[in-house]
Amino acid sequence: MTEYAPHLDTNTIVNFGLLAMLLAVLVAIVRTRSLLAAVLLMGIYSLISAVWFVVLDAADVAFTEAVVGAGVSTAFLLGAILLTRTESLTKRWQDMVMPGLVCVGAGVLLFYAALDLPLFGDPSAPANAHVGRFYIEETKNDVGVPNIVTAVLASYRGFDTLGETIVVFAGGIGVALMLGFGERSMGDLPPALRSPVMEALAESDHHVVLRSVAKLLIPIIALYAFYVQFHGEVGAGGGFQAGVIFAVAVILHALIFGLADTMDAIPPELARAFAALGVLLYSGVGVINMINGGNFLDYDHLFPLAFEAGLPGSHLSGGYHHWGQHFGIIIIELGVLFTVAATMIAMFYAFAGRAADVVGEGARG
Amino acid sequence: MIDFTSLIVAPPELTRHAAALLVLGPLVASCAAALSPNGRWAWIISFLASAFSFWMALALTGEVAREGVIVYAMGGFEPPYGISFRIDWLGAMFALLLSSMAMIAAAYSGYSLNAEILEGKRTLFQAGFLLCLAGLLGMTSTGDAFNAFVFLEISSIGTYALIGVGASRDRRALPAAFNYLILGTVGATFYVIGVGFLYAAAGTLNMADLASRLPALEESRAAEAGFAFIMVGLGLKAAMFPLHGWLPSAYAHAPSLMNVFLSATATKAAVYLMVRFAFDVFPPDSIIVERFMIWVMAPLAGVAAIVCSTQAIFQTELRRILAFSSVAQVGYMMLAIAVASGAGIAAGLLHLTAHALMKAALFMAIGGVTLSVTGLRLSDFNGAGRTAPWTMTPFAIASFSLLGVPLTMGFLTKWRLIEAMLGDAYYWAVAVIAISSILSLFYVGRMLEVLFFQPAQTGKNRIREAPLGALIPLWVLTVATIWFGIDGRMVEYIADSAATAVLGGVE
Amino acid sequence: MSSFVGYANYFAVIILMMGGLYVIFSTSNLIKRMIGLSILQTSVGLFYITTSKVFGGTVPILIDEDDPARAELASRLDPAYFESAAYDGVVYSNPLPHVLILTAIVVGVATLAVGLAIAVRVREAYGTVEREEIERKDRIRHAHESYEDELDETEASEADA
């Protein structure tokens, strides 16, 4: 095998350009005092990262970063700013010394260690040669879906993905414990207690153009979510991306037609139920596998073996279809969709429906 | 010799999947709890789920006694290609500890949530509690370094909000929860960075596979940096001095149930991962581990044991005294683990168990009288032991265990700590333990003086006994503390086996 | 030159990570600290993906045998290198870090939401989201005032929530 020596190609040059942009955005975030600016810059940081992920062949990650990082994260941050304040205090230089030293120290340690890492792009690096290589070579035989990322995500490391779904669920529980489900916005409240987020949005109430465009756009976005959902086995996409996109459609509806209307269409209780249902669906698949004699989440045992062997083109009878794997992945991705979409919607309700609280020290302002 | 295989009381179909079911039980139950109609239902679900986990943990222990190591491949993909649970004596010990403490805490939660949490939030609170339990159990069962991060986050994310709910008693719970969230997430992210370096250097995430590949990377700076970041990240989670800043406030202001459960379990799971990485994943004789133990962990643990015991003396609020004492006690455990011998690790694990029992009892007793106590300061508890002896006697017994009085489990473990340190000629560490014990005499004495020798409050402020729902779990803990103090053979056997398993490396 | 190209990505990503860390610890504004946390987490993602890139590689989605894209991708690469890196006629980048970072991104957004929710509650209880002001208010209150007043007040806020 020839010694690997990296050299510049277009791809690598674009990669450097994007990293330079990320550094510039970071400097701007550190320097700005305006929180609004910081949030928007944060969104830009996510978007540039997403482009960078595409350049480095991580299409699924790019998709997720774009919808999550630049999409819902920014929405949550904006909501939080409206509920708190928009400017941070000026920093004193004393407060910058210690963190600066810690970061420089940790950074130097990492620099020193990084010089021992394999060169960028080396196909024979341990990371790319050992387990990573195995997935590329065996996905066809073990799982039988073209998108290797989906195969690893949903099948080889499906247990991680279950954990990840539960993290989202836990986040939803956390937000609901702190802020509720936006119940307060539903009753008739005196002006002092109305949600500042929705007050800010109410100003856009009379934009007819906006409303008619939204009426057209929202079903398309929702439809696109389902395309992304079922496209995950062959291309970039899957339950997470689809769930977030669906939630974005709902959020858009709330922004333009008002939270009350949206809550009528998708009540908070429904969101709560679907969030739990998604996790149950996912783990339910695992339990069925156990009942049929396999290990937890072993989709090969989704159907009893005799039944699977009888299916057309089954790999058990010499074909190439892993029916259990296909259906297993489709069902767990549905579970992911339910939990992610429902939790994101519930979280948005919580922030948007949070009415102003005049308790505590000092008035608002 | 104790026959652990008799612990398998589950049918073989369940025992075969015990490793997965251990975690799956509370996970599924948390969804059920979130959907349940009221707090009472959620409480029943919560108790049944943690009891189920305990049942599975017993079965697992029996299996481990029979087979040594259990590997359960999730999705049927053999490690290192799939994620697997890998349970040896150390894992079995933590499964038993976590699930039994959760069961006791869940029993207590029926009373505790009724007293402190609004009805509308109880179902969600129980769901969060179960997720926290599932996360901790997953952390200590998994054989995959990245999967451990996912479980770490499952256990943490719920916890942050559950601490914040303590704002109904004390608004300082909110900044405390936020601070914990920031530091906890930074810790978890450092762990991920460390795992990333290990992955880049060795090409695998499976712990057993890492262990077989790391000896070849002895001189790799990437692996060393990975180790450093993993230890700092987990150190933050385990409240290792000086990264303990989040702990006193987070513990002191959380709702009583979280006091009890977190102090008994949360930092312990992080200690588990530290032990796992330092002695099992990395070769125990590697230079980086040795240097880290001698020059970083041991000195810091020693400082923690003395400084935080001193800080505990000067606290005015009862819960804060106990929280600072927790950091000092984490110092004891780390000091023993830093000795890096089989006896040291076993002693550290034993002390960890004893500490879980006594701190849970102490916080439970305080939570038990919380309804009739008007404030948080130590002086608000004046004479509580006189008007509520059934609640406060366990408090006194647990305090004795904290001091290491004979006939309590604390005595046994302190004995083992000192024995291990003398065995490896760590004389200064023995001195540290002695000084710290004298310091703890001051704050324990102060607490007991206030509780038992101050005149009792009367009339409106009279402190009343905790109800039966709180007294039963409290006395269970107390009996366990005394039982293991008199006959500790069983826990000692488990801890010794765990230390042997972890030092024996993989296979 | 080759060592610059080989390590520059790591260095850039490390600077980004430390920048995020700096934002977390240097600001006293809770919202901005959450922004710092997001940057730190995103940058760790960049680190993992850096390790996953294979030179001249493509997205890890299996390409059909008869797809013309195969020949086109192969023609760009040096034949000896292509021989050593390709599987079944295509050079794929490593899918494993992609999966890990997908997980990490989702964990990140859950953390962000919970953190912001707590920050909003801090704002309601203290009237500020600056760490320094919160600490000052705690110091004043817990040094001088009796506890009962506060209890009533926080109970009211909780009842509202």
Among the partner residues C24, C117, C147, nearest to B376 by beta-carbon distance: C147
pLDDT for residue C87: 86
Whether A306 is in a domain gets the answer yes
- If one counts the domains in chain A, the total is 1
Is there a contact between A57 and C53 if contact means CB atoms under 8 Å apart?
Answer: yes
Q: How far is CA B241 from CA B295, B329, C47, C68, in A?
A: 14, 11, 29, 60
- How is domain C2-53+95-160 classified at the architecture level of CATH? Orthogonal Bundle (1.10)
ipTM comes to 0.94
% of chain B exceeding 90 in pLDDT: 65
pLDDT at A128 over 50: yes
Among the partner residues C81, C87, C108, nearest to A2 by beta-carbon distance: C81
Whether A104 is in a domain gets the answer no
Is there a contact between A359 and C156 if contact means CB atoms under 8 Å apart?
Answer: yes
Whether A21 is in a domain gets the answer no
pLDDT for residue C24: 92
Determine contact: C26 vs chain B, CB below 8 A.
no
Residue of higher predicted confidence among C134 and C141: C134
pLDDT for residue A152: 92
Q: If you average pLDDT over residues B164-169, what whole number do you get? A: 85
Peptide bond into B79 cis (omega under 30): no
Q: If you average pLDDT over residues B62-88, what whole number do you get? A: 91
The encoded tokens of residue B285 equal 């004789």
pLDDT for residue C68: 84
Over the stretch B216-261, which tens digit does the pLDDT of each residue have?
Answer: 887 788 999 999 999 999 999 999 888 888 998 888 889 989 989 9
Q: If you average pLDDT over residues A165-178, what whole number do you get? A: 94
Q: Which residue has the tokens 């756009």?
A: A217
Q: If you average pLDDT over residues A215-244, what whole number do you get? A: 87
Q: Which domain holds residue A294?
A: 134-360
Q: If you average pLDDT over residues A103-122, what whole number do you get? A: 90
Q: Which residue has the tokens 């009842």?
A: C159
Contacts with B, A 229-258, CB within 8 Å: none
Whether A263 is in a domain gets the answer yes
Contact A276, B35 (CB under 8 A): yes
Q: B interface mutation test: which of A156, A160, A357 has the most B CBs within 10 A?
A: A160
Chain B residues whose beta carbon lies within 8 Å of the beta carbon of residue A163: 138, 147, 150-151, 154
% of chain A exceeding 70 in pLDDT: 88
Is there a contact between C2 and A5 if contact means CB atoms under 8 Å apart?
Answer: yes
Q: If you average pLDDT over residues B394-400, what whole number do you get? A: 94
- Per the rule left: phi > 0, alpha: psi between -120 and 50, beta: everything else, B407 is left
Q: Tell which residue, A139, A149, B91, B186, has the closest CA to residue C43.
A: B186
Residue B469 pLDDT level (bands cut at 50, 70, 90): confident
DSSP code of residue A130: T
pLDDT for residue B114: 82
Over the stretch C9-66, which tens digit does the pLDDT of each residue have?
Answer: 999 999 999 999 999 998 889 999 999 999 999 999 999 999 999 988 889 988 888 8
Over the stretch A187-206, which tens digit does the pLDDT of each residue have?
Answer: 545 555 566 666 666 655 55
pLDDT for residue A183: 65
pLDDT for residue A360: 36
Please provide residue B464's backbone torsions phi and psi, each rounded to the nearest 5 degrees: -100, 160
CA-CA distance, B221 to A53, in Å (whole number)?
A: 27
| Count of alpha carbons within 13 angstroms of residue B244, beta-carbon side | 25
Among the partner residues C44, C125, C134, nearest to B192 by beta-carbon distance: C44
Chain A residues whose beta carbon lies within 8 Å of the beta carbon of residue B161: 173-175, 177-178
pLDDT for residue A204: 55
pLDDT at C105 over 90: yes
Q: How far is CA A93 from CA A32, A99, A160, A323, in A?
A: 15, 11, 43, 63
Among the partner residues C30, C150, C151, nearest to B178 by beta-carbon distance: C30
pLDDT at C108 over 50: yes
Q: C interface mutation test: which of A89, A96, A337, A345 has the most C CBs within 10 A?
A: A89
Is there a contact between C117 and A107 if contact means CB atoms under 8 Å apart?
Answer: no
Angle at A337 between CA A335 and CA A343, to 5 degrees: 100
Q: Tell which residue, C109, A61, C145, has the closest CA to residue B185.
A: C109
pLDDT at C136 over 80: yes
CA-CA distance, A319 to A111, in Å (whole number)?
A: 51
**How far does A148 lie from chain C, in Å, by closest CA?**
6
Q: Tell which residue, A311, A287, A308, has the closest CA to residue A298.
A: A287
Strand pairing partners for A147? C61
Contact C20, C50 (CB under 8 A): no
pLDDT for residue B217: 83
First to last CA, chain B: 24
Please provide residue B138's backbone torsions phi and psi, each rounded to the nearest 5 degrees: -65, -40
How large is the angle between the packed helices B39-67 and B119-141, nearest 10 degrees? 10
Contact B329, B238 (CB under 8 A): no
Rg value, chain A, Cα: 24
Over the stretch A239-291, which tens digit does the pLDDT of each residue have?
Answer: 899 999 999 999 888 888 888 888 888 998 899 999 999 999 999 999 999 99
DSSP A3-56: PP-----HHHHHHHHHHHHHHHHHHHHHH--BHHHHHHHHHHHHHHHHHHHHHT
Over the stretch A286-326, which tens digit does the pLDDT of each residue have?
Answer: 999 999 988 999 998 888 888 888 888 787 777 777 888 98
CA-CA distance, B500 to A283, in Å (whole number)?
A: 35
Q: Tell which residue, B368, B329, B369, B358, has the closest CA to residue B477.
A: B358
CA-CA distance, B177 to B171, in Å (whole number)?
A: 10
pLDDT at C160 over 90: no
Is there a contact between C123 and A123 if contact means CB atoms under 8 Å apart?
Answer: no
Q: If you average pLDDT over residues B382-387, what whole number do you get? A: 87
Q: B interface mutation test: which of C118, C132, C144 has the most B CBs within 10 A?
A: C118
Residue of higher predicted confidence among A23 and A84: A23
CA-CA distance, B147 to A88, in Å (whole number)?
A: 37
Please provide residue A314's backbone torsions phi and psi, each rounded to the nearest 5 degrees: -65, 145
pLDDT at A364 over 60: no
pLDDT at C140 over 90: no
Residue A281 CB partners (closer than 8 Å, separation 6+): A331, A332, A334, A335, A338
pLDDT for residue A1: 45
Chain C residues whose beta carbon lies within 8 Å of the beta carbon of residue A350: 117
Q: How far is CA A191 from CA A159, A186, A205, A364, B389, in A?
A: 48, 13, 17, 14, 52
pLDDT for residue C159: 47
Chain B residues whose beta carbon lies within 8 Å of the beta carbon of residue A110: 193, 225
pLDDT for residue B287: 86
**How far does C40 lie from chain B, in Å, by closest CA?**
8
Determine contact: C159 vs chain A, CB below 8 A.
no
Task: Provide the mean pLDDT of chain B.
Answer: 90
Domain with CATH 1.10.287.3510 in chain C: 2-53+95-160
Chain A residues whose beta carbon lies within 8 Å of the beta carbon of residue C24: 99
Chain C residues whose beta carbon lies within 8 Å of the beta carbon of residue A100: 22, 26
Angle at C86 between CA C82 and CA C92, to 5 degrees: 115
Q: Tell which residue, B279, B251, B278, has the closest CA to residue B267.
A: B251
pLDDT for residue B269: 93
Determine contact: C127 vs chain A, CB below 8 A.
yes
Contact C62, A49 (CB under 8 A): no
Q: Tell which residue, A327, A147, A348, has the closest CA to residue A238.
A: A147
- How far is C-alpha B157 from the geometric centre of its chain's CA atoms? 17
Determine contact: C70 vs chain A, CB below 8 A.
no
- How far is C-alpha B82 from the geometric centre of its chain's CA atoms? 28
CA-CA distance, C126 to C128, in Å (whole number)?
A: 5
The encoded tokens of residue B69 equal 């190591």
pLDDT at C147 over 50: no
Residue A267 CB partners (closer than 8 Å, separation 6+): none
Is there a contact between C102 and A69 if contact means CB atoms under 8 Å apart?
Answer: no
Chain B residues whose beta carbon lies within 8 Å of the beta carbon of residue A287: 24
Give just the sign of the alpha carbon dihedral A263, A266, A269, A275: negative
Q: If you average pLDDT over residues B374-385, what whole number do you get? A: 83
DSSP code of residue B38: S
